[in-house]
Chains A and B, each alone.
Chain A
Amino acid sequence: MSEEKIDTFNAASRDKTRQELRWRRAHILSPFVNAWLIIFVFIFTVGREFFEIGTQNDREIPDFSQAPELPGVLSIFENFGMLWLPALLLVGFAVLLIPYFVSWYSYFFAVDAHNVYVRSGILSKTERKARLDRVQSIDINRSLMARLLGLAELKFDVADGSHSALAVKFLKYKDARALRAQLLSQVRALKEADAGENLAPVTDAVSSLGDGKPEHTEPTRRERLREHVATNLGPGLKDADETPVLKIPVARLIASVLLSFTTCVTVLGVAFFVGLSLFTGASLVSILFANFALIAGMGSTLWKKFNTGYNFRLSTSPDGLKTRYGFTDTTTQTVPAGRVQSITVSQPLLWRFKGWYQVRVALAGKGGTENTFTGYLLPVGTADDLARVLPLVVPGAGSGGADAEALRAGLVGSGSAGGFTVSPRRARVFNWLTYKRNGFAILPALLMVRGGWAVRRLVLVPHSKVQGIRVSQGPFARRRSVAHLSVDVAGHSASYPATVQNADATVARALFVRQAQLGVRPASP
């Protein structure tokens, strides 16, 4: 673990360099972002109260022009005259915000050539440190509230840390991007120095950041406006050495969400309720209200799909693949090269008419408990997009990976075409529809597992990422002489397990042996 919790009192005396750190506070508006829930509830309650007072004529409107007799300390509000109620509400609001401001007051961060530090807490101080040479990615996250206030959160993902990463929150968006660019170059320099390829001192890289900027000429108003839009409003965060690969049009995303299984279920469900109300004569509103939780759940699933695909763009950079997306919340995620544990390509039934696909990867140390990493490299894309994305993560035919023919067979094929081995015919009692599609293919660098009839699915697992292999057989499978083989992979593969269903038992045993061999000694060129 490269993150440590240190008691500051001991640490300060122990570590001399600590004194030279320049501790900085987060942006003064940060408490408002942290207290978004309170702000929301406050505005909602107050707004509703005023709205009701304004609309309900039949009720006697209390007289707000004169402050009533207020007890105790509150009597000072009588001095505000007509404004006593807003003043009282504001003070109450401020009192609620005090804890957030106190925690902001005691929150510091600092950066030096090798580490990022975050110090927080009033009574029990904690200090966390992330080593820059272990940092895998630095992402900028912006929640809706942060975006309204022009702030951003800087998040550090640390190698082989399974628990939540270090985050600096919040900074001005511009500062966050500047700091990110500076730290990224530091990270790169540290890693290069580590690798021994380039032993240039780190300080060079750091100090070179300051100068080297071109002379500033006074920008025109139009340029300033464009820059403001680009830096503060758009999701167009982009590093100098990034190459965009693709972006998903909003229209296609909406169509893909509408064509999803969840939408079908929702539509059918609502149709069922409408029919029920017509049939029984019960009020539709009351039926919908009674099933509110169900409908809300469906709606939230659809919303999540939309939100994680909105304005999705994928680009390549020296740190790996970068994805950016989000409607309420622009999120940046970095997929470092070589950390992909498995790749899943899937095609839901209704997408087949459009020829759309989805690509999702599992990363080590991400996923599982941490739901923030979605792993989508392509939320919805055409075959062309697929052809552009897959080579970025799947080893090519030249290095023992999949060629186009094998991929096509894995995506849409069935039977033994493209080097696949499918379930024997006697397994059709278990998978009547998919026994010709459930299969696998071994390539020198990859295991390809294919399955699914309605939702086509192809899982690609590099042999070097296999954490364990299991072959299992139940009593019914034994009667039919078939067995399952599954491959354990790190990251959130729970939703798409790489399992070969109902393979011939002899084949499953041979595959088990082969897979075990390839896992420890890959057929390297």
Chain B
Amino acid sequence: MTEPQLSPIAEPAHSEPRIAGNAPWDSHRETSPQPMPRTFAPTLPPLDLDGLKTARIDPSGVDWKRVQPRYAKARLITGLIWALIIVALAALPLIFTQFLHWWNWAPWVCWGILGIVAALQTWYLAIIQRQVRALGYSERQDHLLTCSGIMFHEVRAIPYGRIQYVDVKSGPIESKLNLASVEVKTASSASTTIPGLEKADAQRLRETLTELSDAKMVGL
């Protein structure tokens, strides 16, 4: 494994305050803000590789707040309803051929379609628990971080100053379980949702985010 044109973890010979010093999430939001690097760096120091190798893509030193485990229940119920509908649709060829004799498909085709769809749906339902456990968020000094997925892992950072509005949503099943999700919109078309929060937590998060975005707002 070679890392081209990136001097590895060796400290760059810069005496000035380095831009790539502390990650913005090294300190929590509650602590005092870091001093701004006032010196203009005509060329930035090489990227600060943290020596964690390529084990993961999460930035170091972040303790994720996890969503409520019972959110899996809400996902499971919705997933189950959908799975039943989809499996019923996939069973149509079988019903038409075997029982109603309207169609004349080969039995292995009918059973094959049903089997593949049913297996996929079971798989989706089985990994819900894992997926929900992988959801996380963290409020840092200047950013809201979210992470999701195990197989397809993704970490996102949204600067508070770019948040345009924050919505709290709650579907019927989520509402029964006293859960809500927080949707964060920026000027870009991509939005971020943190699902499965306790309703009170979601409200609190919304208020915090709105306050922070007002305080740090920058124009487009």
* A contact residues vs B (CB 8 Å cutoff): 160, 339, 341, 364-365, 368, 400, 416, 419, 421-422, 424-426, 442-444, 464-475, 478, 481, 483, 488-490, 493-494, 504-514, 516-521, 523-525
Contacts and interface: CB of A to CB of B under 8 A. Distances in A.
A483 B147 CA distance: 14
Interface centre among A339, A464, A468, A489 (most CB of B within 10 A): A468
A444 B41 contact: yes
B59 A509 contact: yes
Given A506-B49, A518-B19, 8 more contacts: A471-B154, A472-B153, A472-B155, A474-B152, A481-B54, A488-B189, A510-B20, A523-B19
A439 to B, nearest CB: 10
A467 B158 contact: yes
Given A473-B152, A516-B159, A341 B19 contact: no
A256 B61 CA distance: 51
Nearest to B40: A525
A486 to B, nearest CB: 9
Given A465-B220, A468-B162, A510-B50, A416 B4 contact: yes
B218 interface: yes
Interface centre among B37, B44, B56, B149 (most CB of A within 10 A): B44
Given A506-B3, A523-B40, A473 B57 contact: yes
Nearest to A398: B42
A160 B24 contact: no
A523 B44 CA distance: 9
18 contacts: A364-B220, A421-B5, A421-B6, A422-B4, A444-B40, A472-B57, A473-B57, A473-B152, A488-B188, A489-B188, A494-B189, A504-B3, A506-B50, A507-B49, A509-B50, A509-B58, A513-B24, A516-B143
Given A421-B4, A481-B1, A506-B54, A520 B142 contact: yes
Contact of B53 (A421, A506, A517): A506
B18 to A, nearest CB: 10
- Interface footprint category on B: 35 or more
A521 B41 CA distance: 13
A518 B18 CA distance: 12
Contacts of A465: 220
Contact of A510 (B2, B48, B154): B48
B189 A368 contact: yes
Contact of A493 (B42, B57, B188): B188
7 closest residue pairs by CB, A with B: A490-B187, A481-B54, A505-B54, A364-B220, A488-B188, A416-B5, A472-B154
Interface in B21-70: 23-24, 36-38, 40-44, 47-50, 52-54, 56-59
Contacts of B203: none
Given A490-B188, A509-B50, A514-B47, A470 B24 contact: no
Interface centre among A469, A504, A520 (most CB of B within 10 A): A520
B118 interface: no
Nearest to A399: B40
Contact of B42 (A444, A478, A507, A509): A444
B126 to A, nearest CB: 17
Nearest to B185: A467
B151 interface: yes
A517 B3 contact: no
B178 to A, nearest CB: 29
A37 B149 CA distance: 51
B220 A520 contact: no
Contacts of A341: 220
A517 B192 CA distance: 20
Contacts of A513: 20, 23-24, 48, 59
B79 interface: no
A509 B159 contact: no
B48 A505 contact: no
A78 B208 CA distance: 79
Nearest to A426: B1
A464 B156 contact: no
B157 interface: yes
Nearest to B156: A470
B23 to A, nearest CB: 5
Given A416-B4, A444-B40, A364 B187 contact: yes
B31 to A, nearest CB: 15
Contacts of A469: 156-157
A518 B24 CA distance: 10
A504 B40 contact: no
B186 interface: yes
A400 B40 contact: yes
Contacts of B115: none
Contacts of B161: 520
Contacts of A339: 220
A438 to B, nearest CB: 13
Interface centre among B1, B2, B155 (most CB of A within 10 A): B155
B190 interface: yes
A524 B156 CA distance: 25
B186 A488 contact: yes
A422 B188 CA distance: 26
Nearest to A362: B188
Contacts of A464: 218
B186 A468 contact: yes
B188 A521 contact: no
Interface centre among A466, A489, A509 (most CB of B within 10 A): A509
A517 B151 contact: no
Contacts of B44: 442-444, 514, 523
A490 B186 contact: yes
A468 to B, nearest CB: 4
B59 A400 contact: no
B48 A514 contact: yes
Interface string B63-82: 00000000000000000000
Nearest to A523: B41
Contacts of B216: 520
Contacts of A400: 40, 42
A426 B154 CA distance: 21
